[in-house]
Structure 1
Amino acid sequence: MSRSQLGDVVAAYLVNRPWGVQQVADATYAIEVHGEHGQWQSYLTVREDEQQVLVHAILPFRIPFDRRAEVALYLTRANYGLVIGNFEFDLDDGEVRFKTAIDVEGAALTEALVDHLVIAGAVTTDRYLPGIHAVVEGATAREAIAVVEGEQGQEL
């Protein structure tokens, strides 16, 4: 695709969706996502030169320092079974985000592919968010992941 086409596809996708969209940089758009377990900002970034589109769902809170090690274990357990995307955790400032991305060099980006990136990120973030809260509140990573992934019949 030409250098401008990726941005055009992402912009067209966002126009046709119900989210409030804000362009926060030349090639980055922010959307407000509302899930069953919370809300957060997702950022769609177009990397024209690399022919890539990234979506980061960024949690609206930071992990307290004293819970970061246990949250890191939780996110590692969560990432182990994921097929699409991964959690990223900044141990210095406590930011947690979920990333999906696609490289379309030699292929065509479509609105459907952008939708898959956004929805996969939103669904996965929403699924694992209660476990993150539980670990912050004192649960172990093992306990929280067992509940979130359905290995125990209890609520967090």
Structure 2
Amino acid sequence: MDLQALHDAVDAFFKEEEWNYEYVNERLLRFGMKGENLDVDAHMVLDEEDRELVMYSEFPVKVPPEKRGVIAELLTRINYVLRHGNFEMSFDEGDLYFRTGLDAADAEVTPTLVRNVVFRNFWMMDRYVPTIMSVLYGGISPKVVLEPSETMS
């Protein structure tokens, strides 16, 4: 799969959805979405060499240094039950993202596959924003804030 084929599938998806997006360069694009709990900024990396499409949605605030440990615990607990995608945080900067991706090696990337990556990503970020905010600003412990259905115990 070449870079042009990735571009074609991505462009077709955004045009079908009538969604604004912009290329920062040939391998990086930015876009956003309004969710139920927040407006999300996102970017997508198109990697021709590894034949991947990776999307990151950005949590709207940086996690302060004193909260990074407890947020890391929360993200680990959430990630444990996720089947697709994951939360990640930079311990140095406090940036928090949800990441989804598509391995396109030996496969044709279609607008439908791009749609699955994008909507899964936004849905998960939007779903867990109240949970993250409860731990970040409400002082609730990660173990307590997650519903029983969202834990393995």
Task: Judge same fold: TM > 0.5, yes or no.
Answer: yes
Offset of residue 44 of structure 1: 1.5
Q: How many angstroms apart in 2 are the aligned matches of 1:3 and 1:55?
A: 16
1:94 maps to 94
Could you tell me which residue of structure 1 aligns to residue 41 of structure 2? Answer: 41
Match of 1:6 in 2: 6
Q: What is the CA-CA distance between 1:25 and the residue it aligns to?
A: 2.1
Q: Distance in 1 between matches of 2:37 and 2:58?
A: 14
Bigger fraction of residues in helix: 2
Q: What is the root-mean-square deviation in Å for CA atoms of aligned residues?
A: 1.7
User: What percentage of aligned pairs have identical amino acids?
Assistant: 28
Give TM-score scaled by structure 1 length: 0.89
Determine if contact 1:70/1:141 at 8 Å carries over to the other structure: yes
Q: Secondary structure at the residue paired with 1:108?
A: coil
Task: Answer with 94-103 or 141-150: which moved more.
Answer: 141-150
Separation in 2, partners of 1:46, 1:22: 13
Deviation, 1:6, is 1.1
Q: Secondary structure at the match of 1:83?
A: coil
- Residue aligning to 1:153: none
Is the Cα–Cα contact under 8 Å of residues 86 and 99 in structure 2 kept in the other structure?
A: yes
Structure 2 equivalent of residue 154 of structure 1 = none
Unmatched tracts of structure 1, length 5 or more:
151-156
Structure 1 pair 38–147 and aligned structure 2 pair: CA distance change class (3 A): farther
Q: Which runs of 4+ in 1 moved over 6 A?
A: none
Q: Alignment partner of 1:99: what SS?
A: strand
Aligned residue pairs, count: 150
Secondary structure of the structure 1 residue equivalent to 2:87:
strand
Give the Cα separation in 2 of the matches to 1:33 and 1:76.
25
